[in-house]
Amino acid sequence: MSPGRLYGVGVGPGDPELVTVKAARLIGAADVIAYHSARHGRSTARRIAESYLRGDQIEEPLIYPVTVETVDHPGGYRGALNDFYANVADRLAAHLDAGRTVVVLAEGDPFFYGSYMHLHERLAHRYPTEVVAGVTSVSAAAAALGRPLVERDEVLTVLPGTLPAEELARRLAATDSAAVLKLGRNFPAVHTAAEAAGVLDQLHYVERASTTEQRTAEFAEVDPSSVPYFSLALKPSPLAQETMAREAGSMPGVSHISTQSQSPGVSHISTQSHSGEVVVVGLGPAGRPWLTPEAQEALAAATDLVGYGPYLDRVPANARQRRHPSDNRVESERAAFALDLAREGARVAVVSSGDPGVFAMASALVEVACEPRWKDVPVRVLPGLTAASAVAARVGAPLGHDYCVLSLSDRLKPWSVIAERLAASAAADLVIALYNPASRSRTWQLGAARDLLLEHRAPDTPVVVGRDVGGPEERVTVTSLAELDPAAVDMRCLLLIGSSRTRLVERGDGDRVVYTPRRYPV
């Protein structure tokens, strides 16, 4: 099979209409779209290119592990980024080896302080590669200001704001025009350097140029606390300034817009091999909006996905990854399988609904991983939004005071233990979150639990029944303990049983809310 082709595609500074015709064509034709983002998961490059995507392409989010230089990695900031780019290069290489066309989106221009260059250095000698230039933030900033950058024999100097203030001052004083990028927390040092160079009154400030959020101002008037990292200072052409002032009779005041970010240039060392690991990932109760950026990062980095079939179905398909679905009742076998994959070098994500540590895969996997056979396989557990929290949020704040979490499933523990714990929780006046309330083979337990709780709770105690919260079949019902109908509850439900303090109130707009006050009577 012939390898796929790699494209580094500049998408410009922010305005989707500044994407070149060639870039738009390649984005629309690609098999795989890759883009960088911080840990929050939002990608500026993807947002710019969104209207050119087909909707059925494989997406590879490249989530920076760090965005500041304070890290725990033994190799420091550069070591962490080096590992990141080595991992990302492996992921994209898997697509290229399979013959897929890969487009890496780059804000601005790929080779202008862009992160794409670090992938280019690792992959361009192995695969057919093409770089598509994009409009830079410097050009967009000049357009936003309406000020030419250079003319005739003038010299333009582009400087990173991360340089020492003394070096910045020397270079600003020695050039005709200048652009200083990467302001952010470097803004005070750039301000000091501009003062020392005697050019403070010539500098203009631009952030998020060409976007609807663009902003410009005189540099000396900008509040340092309001400056994002991807803003820039611009010292336009002196000759053009003089000409414009002469033509207008005086230098006009300039309103400002904003320039978009370039991905930070990152130094790196050498490609490292990656040993395998298992990451247990909590998917939350439903779709992507309930998924944490940390979990999204782990799923994107995985070579193999392991889990109960319906949970795996919630993870978007990626042809680079191998998927290993299994039945819901083989947790130990699933854990052993995942650990074996990792021992062979795979990066395995074991998926769980909700939080993996709450009646889910984390306990089973950690237990198996403690056996001598797998004691050296790295294991991480990433939390997820729990079903209890999701259901509670739909009705108000029923978990506002002390509460406990119990499972009604007697598959792994006897009913006598469940009954004892229910009675103890009820006697302690705790709000109770009931997981696994019923299934096709467990039909009598919920009714027995309700009767037991009624020995300690008033008949009108609020009960919240949440089904498929966050999903397409979401239904949330508020009833009372006496009126709870076990026949209306199945395995996809979670129940919240109020305490003696839990209140059901109808508000002025007609909505009914359930809450448990944080105060408790003495």
Residue with tokens 């590669």: 129
In terms of C-beta density within 10 A (0-12 exposed, 13-18 middle, 19 or more buried), how is residue 382 classed? buried
Q: Would you say residue 389 has pLDDT above 60?
A: yes
- The per-residue pLDDT of the chain, averaged, comes to 90
Residues 253-286: tens digit of each pLDDT: 433 323 233 322 222 222 233 479 999 999 999 8
- The pLDDT, as a whole number, for residue 1 is 75
Three-state secondary-structure class, residue 146:
coil
Average pLDDT over residues 67-93: 82
Average pLDDT over residues 481-495: 93
First to last CA, the chain: 75
- Alpha helix stretches (DSSP H) within 387-436: 387-395, 415-427
Whole-model pTM? 0.75
Cα distances from 361 to residues 159, 295, 386, in angstroms, run 50, 15, 13
Q: Would you say residue 149 has pLDDT above 90?
A: yes
Three-state secondary-structure class, residue 486:
helix
Q: Please report, rounded to a whole number, the percentage of residues in the chain having pLDDT higher than 90.
A: 77
Residues 422-450: tens digit of each pLDDT: 999 999 999 999 999 998 888 899 999 99
Q: Would you say residue 209 has pLDDT above 90?
A: yes
* Paired tokens of 65: 């592990």
* Paired tokens of 219: 């540099």
Q: Would you say residue 10 has pLDDT above 90?
A: yes
The full set of domains in the chain, from first to last, is 6-134 (3.40.1010.10), 138-257 (3.30.950.10), 277-385 (3.40.1010.10), 388-515 (3.30.950.10)
Beta strands 156-160; 231-235: pairing state: unpaired
Average pLDDT over residues 92-100: 97
- The pLDDT, as a whole number, for residue 412 is 85
Residues 322-374: tens digit of each pLDDT: 999 998 778 999 999 999 999 999 999 999 999 999 999 999 999 999 999 99
Residues 191-201: tens digit of each pLDDT: 999 999 999 99
Give the dihedral sign, CA 258/265/105/46. Answer: negative
Q: Would you say residue 497 has pLDDT above 70?
A: yes
pLDDT band, very low/low/confident/very high, at 384 (cuts 50, 70, 90): very high
Cα distances from 271 to residues 123, 249, 285, 484, in angstroms, run 11, 59, 37, 60
The angle at the Cα of 265, spanning 260 to 269, to the nearest 5 degrees, equals 160
Q: Would you say residue 189 has pLDDT above 70?
A: yes
**Residues 6 or more apart whose Cβ sits within 8 Å of residue 148:** 142, 236, 237, 240
Residue with tokens 């050296």: 376
- The pLDDT, as a whole number, for residue 264 is 29
- The pLDDT, as a whole number, for residue 289 is 84
Average pLDDT over residues 169-177: 95
Average pLDDT over residues 114-138: 96
Q: Would you say residue 250 has pLDDT above 50?
A: no
Residues 27-75: tens digit of each pLDDT: 999 999 999 998 888 899 999 999 999 999 999 999 988 766 566 777 7
Average pLDDT over residues 370-387: 95
pLDDT band, very low/low/confident/very high, at 380 (cuts 50, 70, 90): very high
Contact (CB, 8 A) for 282 and 465: no
Residues 300-314: tens digit of each pLDDT: 999 999 999 999 999
- The pLDDT, as a whole number, for residue 71 is 66
